[in-house]
Structure 1
Amino acid sequence: MKETFIGITIGDPSGIGCEITIKALDILKPFNNWIPVVFGDKSVIDEMISLLKTKINFLPYNPESGYNENTVFYVDENAVSGPVVYGIVDEEYGRASLIYLESAAQMALQGQINALVTGPVNKRSLKRTKSGFIDQTSILKDLCGVNSADTMFLTGKLRIFFLTRHIPLRTVPESLTTGQILDYIKKYMEYLKKFGIVKPTLAVAALNPHAGDNGLIGSEEIEIIRPAVVMAQKELLDVRGPVPADSVFHLAKEGLFDAVMSLYHDQGHIAAKTLDFFRTVSLTLGLPFLRTSVDHGTAFDIAGKGIASPENMVEAIKAALTYHAYFK
């Protein structure tokens, strides 16, 4: 496969995924040296094209057919019956988003697309499908047969890894172990090398205010986090920490560290999205292919109105184009 094929799922049909996909492709065309492949329902795509009055040449997926720099392939999944009702939680739309993702993942596993960009899904709609999944990363892990996959946020030069993800905040301290942190330090350092960083530097964020202030405001830094950092340093890994969370992300943005290990979901999300909400891109690492994603939800409140910003989708597609070759 000489050309680069980037798969893009539209996510939940009731949300803004289809809209921002079409708008992003309109911004990014002409497609020099790459070909978009959109996974969704052609009826949903046509409805949105009509709303946006966009002129994009959508063709059924067939890499042997003729195409030009303005062509977009689509894979019609026929998962939605009737016109879309925007902004609602619905089992049919949750199942449709599952079908789009499964189809795209299978083509990625077969080498038909080089990377996957995913539009936003709705967790409540996914839950109604009784599939057992409420997020796309878990679905992709299952489809690819991998035990773990890791999230990295990319916001300009700031890179953030997440030790834990969708768990209640009150359970974070009890979920931390020295062995776990050490294992993830090693894994994240290997990821950074894949990005072409020969001697990466990783900072581990602290859990408590002021990194526990020598045990005055919590003992996790002394008993759990710092021992993992010391063990990693003994293995000649350039790891620092625990670094107070109120400064570590700024220091990484300024170039002192190549990446930060965030200990829990909102610790890293708040930093990245405050820095640049619309340009923060999520990368899923550890799959047989690179997956990037917008870092926002379905925005049901504005879905179907034609006013959603495609900026995050543009950045997600750019990231897939830039980094897919590092993760073959």
Structure 2
Amino acid sequence: MTNRTNPLALTMGDPAGIGPEIIIKALSHVPESEPLLVLGCPKVMERAARITGSERQVKAIEQVEEASFEPGQIEVLQTSTFNTLPTFGKVSAECGQAAFDAIKTAIQLAANGAISGIVTAPIHKEALSRAGISYPGHTEILADLGGAERVAMMLGNDEIRTVLVTIHCSLLNAIKGADFDAQMAAIRLAHDGAKALGYDHPRIAVAGLNPHAGESGLFGREEIDIIAPAIETAKKEGINASGPWPGDTVFMMARQGQFDIVVAQYHDQGLIPVKYMGLEKGVNITLGLPFVRTSPDHGTAFDIAGQGSADAASLLTAIGYARQLIAARQKGTN
């Protein structure tokens, strides 16, 4: 169990991307008294500080206990080191490994209660693969190393929120994977996640898989045979779930205030509406973990990395959501 003084950890992401510089930018908008600890390569973070014009000094530490959070400092727990700084915008095994090492350390620290939660900067999936790391993304790493039986991605902004039944897989495998158990897990996690965000009785809309939510079986029976029975089971558990709703209108209905959160069947069905409204507003929350994890809702942006122009708004939003979720967990344990 964590306490209020434990730092929130920020993993640096892929060092060839914008992660390090948006971390530096975000820290300039956070009170220096707030305990935020960066996990990564101090040299990479020093370069990011120069690029962004930060006046704060990077201080390398080897143990969480060494962090003092003095004004004017950015404390970096060293999880990797580069003899030669990586080239911006270049995919490499070294960068993939460094990004993974920061995440792995953060998970270990969260499991030990040394940190209050994790905010992850963007990683590059091809870089992970080149490093021989088989995970397709953050969510799968966190679920496996974090010891979670089932997790779900919650993506959202100020207007709409969505939880995914299936995550990083082909559309064919997403259809196969959207079974009854996956529906129930996503609905339950959506309910719990929305409550943690302050919705006492969250209204959950479950999207259909097929066009027009199957049109009463004309376009497929998944809604009849799988999704609707899961919704009815959830209702019996006291969850305010409804649907299946057509995927092409359910997010509009949620934005109009009819629902608090939408359960989407596959990655693009859920993420396109959120990302269309602006990457700077979105945040990614992993539900089902034994610790809090949030992330900005965008990628490594290799095309602008190193220019100092990357927007830290989504990362700041992710930090804010992490604070809120940590407070909710602490309230629940008191």
| Displacement of 1:109 | 1.8
Distance 1:113 1:221, change over 3 A: same
> Would the aligned equivalents of 2:19 and 2:300 in 1 still touch at CA under 8 Å?
yes
Residues 29 and 69, structure 1, Cα contact 8 Å, conserved in 2? no
RMSD between aligned alpha carbons? 2.1
The counterpart of 1:182, out of the listed 181, 184, 190, is 184
What displacement does 1:69 show? 5.0
Residue 70 of structure 1 and its aligned partner are, at CA, apart by 4.7
Stretch deviating more after TM superposition (216-225 or 13-22):
216-225
Q: CA deviation at 1:23?
A: 1.1
- Is 1:132–2:134 an aligned residue pair? yes
**1:185–1:41 Cα change, 3 Å:** same
Unpaired runs of 5+ residues, structure 2, are none
The alignment-based identity, stated in percent, is 35
**C-alpha separation in 2, matches of 1:179 and 1:29:** 41
| Aligned-partner residue type, residue 43 of structure 1 | K
Paired with 1:67 and 1:130, the residues of 2 have a C-alpha distance of: 35
Q: Which residue of 2 aligns with 1:122?
A: 124
What is the TM-score of this pair, normalised by structure 1?
Answer: 0.92
Residue 218 of structure 1 aligns with which residue?
220
Distance in 1, Cα, partners of 2:195 & 2:68: 38
Equivalence for 2:30: 29
Name 1:281's counterpart in structure 2.
Answer: 283
SS in 2 for 1:58: strand
C-alpha distance in 1 between matches for 2:19 and 2:121? 5
Of 190-199 and 244-253, more deviation after overlay is shown by 190-199
Report if the CA contact (8 A) 2:46-2:58 is conserved.
Answer: no
1:21 and 1:310 in contact (8 A); partners too: yes
- Secondary structure of the corresponding residue to residue 272 of structure 1: helix
Match of 1:322 among 324, 329, 334: 324
Tell me if the contact between 1:35 and 1:72 (Cα under 8 Å) persists in the aligned partners: no
* Worse-superposed segment, 116-125 or 101-110: 101-110
Deviation larger for 75-84 or 241-250: 75-84
The TM-score normalised by the length of structure 2 is 0.90
Q: Which residue identity does 1:56 align to in structure 2? A: R
Distance in 2 between the 1:183 and 1:29 partners? Answer: 35
Aligned to 1:7: 9
Q: 2:81 aligns with which of 73, 79, 82?
A: 79
- In structure 2, distance between residues paired with 1:65 and 1:76: 12
| Deviation for aligned residue 1:63 | 5.0
Shift of 1:75: 0.8
Report the counterpart of residue 254 of structure 2 in structure 1: 252
**SS of alignment partner, residue 82 of structure 1:** coil
Tell me the number of residue pairs that the alignment of Structure 1 and Structure 2 aligns: 326
- Residues 187 and 29 from structure 1, CA distance in 2 versus in 1: closer, same or farther, beyond 3 angstroms? closer
C-alpha separation between the residues in 1 aligned to 2:80 and 2:183?
A: 44
Q: 1:52 to 1:185 in 2, by over 3 A?
A: closer
